[in-house]
């Protein structure tokens, strides 16, 4: 063999990836969704109501799954899953949003792309039919991350986002909830018994992650209150290095803990790159690694981290839950409430929806 060919072969060998190309890995996708968490009990829900919620969750899950199955992006899958929940009056997001103390519907949403951590968020909008699409428009525009109120609505009109009459969001059930709160001097949780945020997190076939969250907030909220859902790092976060997260719960506590980014950061450090001579862990088991020699984020690791952060929320007095998807395709739920509307699916054939903690 001529010297220059031999040298070229040696250089190619030296620069070749440490792990062989795995076509199956490129085809991996995963998605998880939620429709809120709280005091959701089997004994207080009729079989018909349970079937309706499960059907709505399955429809949202199917919409997101179809995008990923066909090779679409995680961002598109997140939107595809959230939009039908925003349009469904059973959920507290978009149509069916709760009323503020002043009797109006104020909507919040956020979306984040794990590839470059670009993000968009909106709060206090009253006429945008699908706030998650407005959040994406903010992200794509790139000049700002977080817009509010009238300014966000003007931006929506400039970008051609669908606008609707405020009456589109109103439902009789939510009006009655506000009346009960005011008449009986109750808290928002006493009225609704749950936190009605919706969200989705996804891993696409190309390895990118995305997260999105949308909500109407709390019944009777006042003074322009903003919860965790639209706050990047509190209720929504995505980073290809660790995970994508959407949260639902007592927003003030999720903001104080920085739940979404806290979980992602802990997982990023858990997924450190190991030296080539690393041996078994303290239990004697060989540590599972992912391509590049980093620690694989197994379901057990993700659950431990998410549960630990949710325990911190509980220690401060808050409750709720999170959905998490990792670069390995793990789709995990962690919640400290009696129930959480949720679902997950992946390229291995998993497809399930659930409501109660015992499911």
Which residues are the active-site residues? Answer: 197
Q: Is 236 exposed, middle or buried (0-12, 13-18, 19+ CB in 10 A)?
A: buried
Tokens for 123, please give them: 């709060």
Q: CB neighbours of 67 closer than 8 A, spacing ≥ 6?
A: 73, 76, 77, 80
Which residues, at least 6 apart from 120, have a Cβ–Cβ distance to it below 8 Å?
A: 110, 111, 112, 134, 135, 136, 137, 138, 139, 140, 141, 145, 146
44 in helix, strand or coil?
Answer: helix
Cβ-contact 122, 135 below 8 angstroms? yes
How much of the chain is helix, strand and coil, in % rounded to 5?
Answer: 40, 25, 40
In 208-322, where does DSSP find H-type helix? 251-257, 259-270, 299-316
Would you state the structure tokens that stand for residue 140, as one six-digit string?
């794509």
Residues in Cβ contact with 261 at an 8 Å cutoff, skipping those fewer than 6 apart: 232, 233, 234, 237
Residue with token string 């509010």: 148
Please provide the size of the chain in residues.
359
């Amino acid at each position: 063999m001529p010297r220059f060919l031999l040298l070229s072969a040696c250089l190619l060998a030296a620069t070749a990836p440490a792990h062989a190309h795995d076509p199956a890995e490129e085809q991996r996708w995963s998605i998880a969704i939620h429709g809120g968490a709280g005091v959701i009990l089997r004994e207080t829900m009729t079989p018909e109501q349970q079937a309706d919620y499960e059907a709505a969750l399955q429809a949202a899950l199917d919409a997101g799954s179809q995008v990923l199955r066909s090779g679409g992006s995680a961002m598109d899958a997140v939107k595809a899953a959230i939009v039908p929940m925003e349009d469904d009056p059973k959920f507290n997001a978009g149509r069916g949003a709760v009323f503020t103390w002043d009797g109006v519907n104020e909507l919040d949403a956020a979306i984040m792309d794990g590839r470059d951590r670009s993000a968009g968020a909106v709060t206090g909008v009253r006429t945008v039919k699908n706030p998650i699409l407005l959040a994406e428009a903010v992200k794509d525009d790139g000049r700002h991350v977080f817009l509010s109120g009238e300014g966000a609505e003007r931006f929506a009109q400039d970008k051609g986002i669908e606008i609707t009459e405020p009456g589109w969001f109103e439902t009789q059930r939510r009006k009655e909830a506000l009346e009960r709160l005011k008449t009986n001097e109750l808290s928002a949780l006493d009225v609704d018994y749950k936190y009605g945020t919706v969200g989705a997190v996804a891993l696409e076939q190309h390895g990118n992650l995305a997260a999105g969250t949308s909500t109407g907030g709390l019944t009777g909220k006042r003074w322009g209150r903003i919860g965790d859902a639209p706050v990047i790092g509190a209720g929504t976060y995505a980073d290809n290095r660790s995970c994508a997260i959407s949260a639902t719960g007592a927003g003030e506590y999720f903001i104080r803990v920085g739940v979404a980014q806290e979980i992602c950061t802990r997982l990023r450090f858990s997924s450190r790159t190991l030296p080539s001579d690393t041996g078994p862990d303290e239990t004697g088991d060989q540590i599972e690694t992912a391509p590049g020699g980093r620690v694989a984020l197994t379901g057990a690791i993700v659950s431990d981290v998410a549960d630990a952060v949710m325990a911190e929320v509980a220690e401060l007095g808050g409750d709720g839950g999170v959905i998490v998807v990792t670069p390995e395709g793990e789709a995990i739920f962690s919640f400290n409430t009696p129930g959480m509307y949720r679902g997950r699916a992946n390229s291995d054939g998993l497809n399930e929806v659930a409501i109660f903690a015992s499911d």
